């Protein structure tokens, strides 16, 4: 019986509600094959870093603007990830671009949560509320969230899991975003992290 847990690094930029869902899943026994051992934010004021601190998990701020170039930014990211002996990288509301070479170095070891049913409303420029603005503008009746492997195409990697959410009359982007987070993202992501972690350590 392999009891090793996958060492998970979560990359964030904002409130960290998806990070919190993963941490809660560890406590609730939903995530047993992996453990969050590092949180990296590309913004110093991300509340996600506060959540990491409260959970006793090391947090780092690595921002491209202080690194000077994409290459230096990714070098610092890689150093932190390797020091952490990272098995799995989870992008949870992470907004910085990662280069093709960085992503290829971690093939099938980076997953992302996107707040729509890919291939709808995804790709360059679709993040945060913009995703829900587009869904409402198109008039879809069903939206949701997707967890996928990250490859060199924005939101183009193999889909791991999806969960549908109804759009309701009178929805604003903010109301819809919250419903998608509550009913899809916070349920889907921890379970996908468990599935991929088990693949990694079970292998």
Residues noted as catalytic:
114
Q: Is 6 in the site for ligand GRF (CB under 6 A)?
A: no
The tokens for 35 are 């453990």
The tokens for 59 are 């947090």
**Least CB distance from residue 16 to ligand GRF, whole Å?**
5
* Preceding peptide of 119 cis, ω within 30°: yes
Segment 147 to 186, residues that bind ligand GRF, using CB under 6 A: 177, 181, 185
Q: Is 23 in the site for ligand GRF (CB under 6 A)?
A: no
**Which listed range, 7-15, 67-75, 96-104, 117-125, lies at the site for ligand GRF (CB under 6 A)?**
7-15
Edge-to-edge order in the sheet of strand 110-114:
59-61, 34-41, 6-12, 88-91, 110-114, 142-149, 159-166
Give me the 102-121 binding string for ligand GRF, x by CB under 6 A, dash otherwise.
-----------x-x------
**Which listed range, 15-23, 100-108, 118-126, 164-172, lies at the site for ligand GRF (CB under 6 A)?**
15-23
**Least CB distance from residue 10 to ligand GRF, whole Å?**
9
SS3 29: coil
**Least CB distance from residue 17 to ligand GRF, whole Å?**
3
Separation CA 86–CA 71 (nearest Å): 20
Which of 8, 9, 16, 74 touches ligand GRF by CB under 6 A?
A: 16
Which of 5, 15, 35, 37 touches ligand GRF by CB under 6 A?
A: 15
Which of 58, 128, 154, 156 touches ligand GRF by CB under 6 A?
A: 128
Nearer to ligand GRF, 83 or 182 (CB): 182
Separation CA 22–CA 7 (nearest Å): 13
List strand residue ranges (DSSP E) for 13-170, in order.
Answer: 34-41, 59-61, 88-91, 110-114, 142-149, 159-166
Separation CA 46–CA 39 (nearest Å): 11
Nearer to ligand GRF, 16 or 34 (CB): 16
Q: How far apart, in Å, are the Cα atoms of 139 and each of 14, 19, 126, 158?
A: 27, 30, 17, 26
Contacts with ligand GRF by CB under 6 A lie at: 12, 14-19, 48, 92-93, 113, 115, 128, 177, 181, 185
């Amino acid at each position: 019986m392999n009891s090793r847990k996958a060492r998970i690094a979560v990359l964030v930029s904002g409130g960290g509600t998806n990070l919190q869902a993963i941490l809660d899943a560890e406590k609730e026994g939903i995530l047993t094959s992996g453990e969050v051992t590092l949180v990296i934010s590309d913004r110093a004021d991300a509340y996600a870093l506060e959540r990491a601190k409260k959970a006793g998990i090391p947090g780092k701020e690595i921002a491209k603007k202080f690194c000077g170039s994409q290459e230096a930014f990714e070098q610092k990211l890689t150093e932190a990830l390797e020091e952490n002996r990272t098995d799995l990288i989870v992008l949870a509301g992470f907004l910085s671009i990662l280069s093709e070479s960085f992503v290829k170095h971690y093939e099938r070891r980076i997953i992302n949560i996107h707040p729509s049913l890919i291939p709808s409303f995804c790709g360059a420029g679709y993040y945060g509320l913009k995703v829900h603005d587009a869904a409402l503008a198109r008039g879809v009746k069903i939206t949701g969230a997707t967890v996928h492997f990250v490859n060199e195409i924005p939101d183009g990697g193999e889909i791991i899991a999806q969960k549908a959410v109804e759009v309701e009359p009178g929805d604003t982007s903010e109301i819809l975003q919250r419903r998608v987070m509550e009913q899809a993202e916070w349920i889907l992501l921890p379970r996908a992290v468990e599935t991929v972690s088990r693949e990694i350590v079970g292998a």
